[in-house]
Structure 1
Amino acid sequence: MNGKNLIMAALLLWLCISCDKGKEMTLSGLNVRDFQTEIDGQLTNLFVLKNKNGMEACITNYGGRLVSLMVPDRNGKLEDIVCGYPTIADYLAQKQNFGATIGRYIGRIHHSTFTLDSITYRLTPNTGPHCAHGGPQGFASKIWQAEQLDINALKLTLLSPDGECGFPGLVEVHLVYLLTDDNTLDIRYEAETDKPTVLNLSHHSFFNLSADFTTSVEDQLLFINADAYTPYDSLKCVTGEILPVAGTPFDFTTPHLIGERIDTDIMQLKAMKGYDHNWVLNTAGDDTKLAARLTDPKSDRSLEVYTDEPGLQVYTANGLSGAMVGKRGIAYPKRSAVCLETQHFADSPNQPQFPSTVLRPGEKYKSHCVYRFGTVASE
C-alpha cells in the first residue's frame, strides 16, 4: 500500500471510530444519544434495564416513558413489543402517551371540576370541557429525576407543585421500574402530599405481543378477571354506573379474541370506536391474583397483569390511523396495539360510589402494576 492509500485508510478508520463513539445502541435498536437533550433547563436521557434472560427495557425520564421492551417468543427470539418513537425529538413533536406515566389523574374528570372538603377545584381542561390524564401539563410531559439503582432497576422522582393544572397540594411522586429475572416488568408508585388532593397514576404502554405493529391485535386472545365495567354516555364520560358484563361484548371472564365482538353495533363500542373502557376487577386489591391475560397465537407470547388497583382500562388503540410514524419507520395503524392500564376509575372525585382517590397529608399513596411475560408453550 502506497503512502497516499495508507493515509486514506487511516482517515476512514478514524471516521468509523468517531461515528461509533457517537452511538450507544440498545438491543432494540435505539441510540441512547438520541434521547439526550435539555428541556427547560432539565436533561433527558435513556436508561437501559436488563435481566439475566436477555430481556431489555428502555426508559426515558421524559414522561417516565417505556420506549422499548424486548421480550422472547416461543423460540427465544427477542423482539420489541411496545409502540414508541426512536428519538426524544419525535416524542416532543408528536404528542402521544406511548409508554408514559399518567398523572396526576388518569382518565377524565368531568367538566374539569371536583369538590373536596367543601372546596371546589377547577382544573385546566384539555379534552373539550374536561380534564383528561392530568391536564395539558400532566406527568407524561414532565422531566423526572432519574437514579439507576441497578442493571435491572430505575427510580424516577417528580415534584408536582401545588395548583399545577388546578390540582391542590405539593405532591412528591416516586416510581420504580424493575425488570426481574422471571421476565416481569414490575412498576411501583409511591406519593405524598401536603394538602388534601386526588391522585390516580397509571402506565400507558401500547402492547402488541406479535411485535408486528403493521398488524392488528384483534386476533390476540384476552381474559379479564372482572364481572362488571363502568359505562360511558354518548359524550365519552362515565355515567357513574357499574354494570355487569354478562351477556355483553365486555365479558372476557372466559378468553375471547379482541376483535371477536369489537364492532358490535352498540353505543358503548360505537362511541369509542372499539374498547376504551374500565373493567371493575374481581381481585379486590390483591396483586397476587391474576387481573388479565393476553396471548398471541403468532408468537406464543403471553402477558399477565397483576395489580392492587380496583380497575383495568383496556384501550384497543382505536385512535391510531397511520399518521404517527414510530420506531423502525412504522406508521402505526388502527388497533395495532392494546393498552392495559391498572387504575382507579375515571371521574371518581365526582362519583362517591366509586373507590376513593383522595390522598391526605400524612398518608402514602401506593400503587403496584405487574406485567409478567411468558409463552403459551411454557405455561
Structure 2
Amino acid sequence: MEEETGFEVDWPAAYLARKSTYERYCGKLQDLLKLVLGTYEVEYVQMESRAKEVASFTEKLQRKGEKYVDPLVEVTDLAGVRIITYYLEDVERIESIIRQEFSVIEEHSVDKQVELADNEFGYASFHLVLELAENRAALLEWREFAGLKAEIQVRTALQHAWAAVNHKLDYKKSQDSPRELRRRLFRLSALFELADEEFSKIRSEGRRISADYAREVNNGDYDLEVNVDSLTAWIRVDRLMEGVRRVANKIGWPLLSESESVPLVDRTDLVEFLNLQDMTRISDLRDILRQAEPLFEPVLTELLSGEEVPTVTSLEDLLTQFLLVYKKAPVEVWNAYYEPTEAFRKARALVP
C-alpha cells in the first residue's frame, strides 16, 4: 500500500470512503448559510459548495503530506462553501455573521488580502474555517457532522473574477509571472481593487442621495429630476399617492403592500415613459396627476376589467398603466410595456 500511495495509511482511499458524508455536510451547510444570511437580509451574488475531489486531496498530501498526522482531521477544506458578494463591505458583514453563528477556528482562518505584500498582485477573500458549535452538533440532523471542519470563502464578484481568470494564467504569485507581464498584471490587479472600492462608494453615495430626496420631498420640494431614486422617495411620502392607493383599494386593484419590494422593472418602465413624455421633473408628474385625479377611478376600473386574473402590481406599475391611458399613448407604445388589451382602448376613450 505504501508503495502505491506514498503514505503509510492509504489516506486517499480513507477519504473516498467518507466523501459522501462531506458532500452531505456541504449541502447542509449551504442551506444553513442561506437561511442565516436571509435572516440578516444580506444579499449576495451566488453561493456554491463542494467536497474536495479525491485527486485534489491526494495532490495536497503529496505536496504537504509530511505536516499531517491524520489528514482527515487536519486538512481543513475537505468541505467548502463559497459566498460571492456584490460589495466589499458585505464581505466583512458576512464574515462577522459567520463568527456569530458558528464556531470559527481562528488559527486556520485568514484574510488573503492581508497576506499580500504591497507590491504583489493576487486575489483577496476571507477564508474562515469552522466547525459546528456544540449545541448544533448535538441535534439529530447534524450529529453525523460533529467535529468536521469546513472552509467558507467570502469574496466579491470582482475578486472572484480576478481569481478565476488569474487561475487560468497559472500565476499564483507575482514572482511566478514573466517580468515583461508583471507590470501589466499589477495594473490589472489594482484596477480590480479600485473598481470594488468605487462600487462601494457609489452605493454609499446612492443611499445618501436617496435620503436627500426623501428630505426634500418631505419639505414640499418637488423640483427633482425624475429617476428611480427620486420616484421611490416621492411615492413613499406624497399624499397624492395615498389617494391613488385608496382608489386602487376601493376598486379591488391588487397592490403590493408598502413593506414588499418593488420590482426594479416597474420603476425603470415608469422613468422611461415619463422621459418619453418630457416629464423630467417630479413636479411635472405631480402636476399631471393632480389634473387627472378625477379619472383615477374610472380609468383604473376599466383597466382592471380586462384582467381575467388580476396580477398584483406596484404603485409604479399602476401609474405607468394609468399614464399610458391618460396621455393617449398609441397602441404600439402600450404594447412595448404590456400585452395588447381591449381594456386599454376602452379606458383611453374615457379621457377627454
Q: Tell me, yes or no, whether TM beats 0.5.
A: no
Higher strand share: 1
| TM-score calculated relative to the size of structure 2 | 0.21
Give the helix-richer structure, 1 or 2.
2
Q: TM-score, normalised by structure 1?
A: 0.20
